[in-house]
Amino acid sequence: MKKNLLYYFCFFHCAYLFSQARLVLGNGITVNITNNAFLVIDNSNPNAITRNTSGHIISEGQYNRVKWNVGTNAGSYVVPFGIGASSYLPVSLTASGAAGAGSLIFAMYPVGSWLNSSNLPAGVTNFVNNYGSDNSMNAIDRFWRIEPSGYTTKPAFTDLILTYLDIEHTAASNSIIEANLIGQRYNDVSNSWDDYMPGTVISTSTNTATIASLPSTELYTWWTLVDNRFILPIALTAFNGVCEGDKVRLNWQTASEKNNDHFIVERADDAVHFTAVQQINSQDPNSTRPLNYSIYDDQPLKGKTYYRLKQVDKDGNFSYSSIVVVNCKTGNITPAISLYPNPAENEITMEMNGMNGKLNLVLYTIHGQQLLERTVNASPNENILEPLDISALAPAIYIIRIDVNDEFLQALKFVKK
């Protein structure tokens, strides 16, 4: 009878923090957490929440939380989240290696529409993709709270599995290829999404995203799923291509590297279906200084070719760069773009080689707010040096988008000191 009273109380109220040593769900029972409450499970055993064939916990709010006092216990945990009477959307993971009397805090947070940027979780300051624009149409319409709290050493996770609904990626205003979804978590220290993106396996039949391995140092609070063609936001300071005879030279620069193993250069004729061209190892897997890379594509495609970088960590996790476009026409040099210095204090210089036509430069904040727009006319044999005064900008990360003849070409990120 005590458990039934708990169920009914939580369904109608659940307005303050309370604790249970064990919660057993069955016979379609739903526990509805509302009014910014905690449901505390004060038992580190993985069976402290047990689901018998049916029933689930409804969160549907960033502050409607399950707080599981897992502590240092190692095991496989399932939080049986769901929506409504019958939609079952569990979150599961295996935790190990923790130190301290900590807890894992879980919640599910629906956006309420396709426009993620209009309803971001508290503390998330940006939702801008690697093209410098709002990424809502390329992200699933849900956030997950998976927050280690109170630990002296956070646990490591394996087999983190997130479950979603089809409507959360097929909504009319979304533009998502489901199989391309990749997990991204928000780093609330650096205010960035792109500093770490683990390998993700999507099952389109079961609507699950599985992340095989997550080190403790990469755990924060908020997660979402994003089409990997439009990651949040770019990680490289430069990536460009140049036609040299019958070859294409691809150049890129990293500001720093962490646990990096190698890069794979990939190409496509449609910006969607990429194949590997060449692999190059990291010069310094844990560099804190800018590093420059260059490779040749000896057999480029005819006409317009799309290139991207796949950066692979030593643990197998990977992420993608923004896409660059190379169009080798007889006698023309493909555009090559760089900016320097980076970081900068008062001025940056955009260097652009081999452009032809109208160049449109747009400066954005990391939140997607447009600050400056400049148009430059260029001819193929020009080497353009375009200075930009940034002395009035606040110290932060900024993005510059470059369009050529009204067609997107490149997005670059720089740091204002």
Contacts of 4 (CB under 8 A, 6+ apart): none
335-417 shares the fold of 251-331:
yes
CATH 2.60.40.10 fits 251-331, yes or no: yes
| pLDDT tens digits for range 118-172 | 899 999 988 877 656 688 988 999 999 999 999 999 999 999 999 999 999 999 8
Question: Mean of the pLDDT values across residues 366-380?
Answer: 80
Residue of higher predicted confidence among 205 and 413: 205
Question: Mean of the pLDDT values across residues 250-267?
Answer: 82
CATH 3.40.50.80 fits 335-417, yes or no: no
| pLDDT tens digits for range 23-78 | 999 888 899 999 999 999 999 999 999 998 899 999 999 999 999 999 999 999 99
Eight-class DSSP state of 11? H
* Model confidence at 397: pLDDT above 60: yes
> In which band, very low, low, confident or very high, does the pLDDT at 333 lie, cut at 50, 70 and 90?
very low
| pTM for this prediction | 0.61
* Among 266, 286, 285, residue whose Cα is nearest residue 276: 266
- Joined together, the tokens standing for residue 192 give 């960035």
Return the percent helix, strand and coil in the chain, to nearest 5.
5, 50, 45
Instruction: Decide if 235 contacts 194 (C-beta within 8 A).
Output: yes
Question: Mean of the pLDDT values across residues 285-309?
Answer: 81
> In which band, very low, low, confident or very high, does the pLDDT at 6 lie, cut at 50, 70 and 90?
very low
* Model confidence at 233: pLDDT above 60: no
- Joined together, the tokens standing for residue 265 give 């250069």
CA separation for the pair 288, 272 (Å, rounded): 32
| pLDDT tens digits for range 260-273 | 889 999 987 765 57
Eight-class DSSP state of 350? E
Instruction: Decide if 23 contacts 49 (C-beta within 8 A).
Output: yes
Domain residue ranges in the chain: 2-227, 251-331, 335-417
Instruction: Decide if 314 contacts 285 (C-beta within 8 A).
Output: yes
pLDDT score, position 380: 66
Residue of higher predicted confidence among 409 and 164: 164
Contacts of 101 (CB under 8 A, 6+ apart): 69, 71, 150
Instruction: Report the alpha-carbon angle 71-74-77, nearest 5.
Output: 90
Segments in 258-298 forming alpha helices (H) = none
- Joined together, the tokens standing for residue 69 give 């006092």
Residue type, 264: I
Residue type, 250: L
* Model confidence at 4: pLDDT above 50: no
CA separation for the pair 40, 308 (Å, rounded): 45
**Rounded alpha-carbon distances, angstroms, from residue 47 to 68, 232, 236, 271:** 11, 36, 44, 46
Residue of higher predicted confidence among 308 and 408: 308
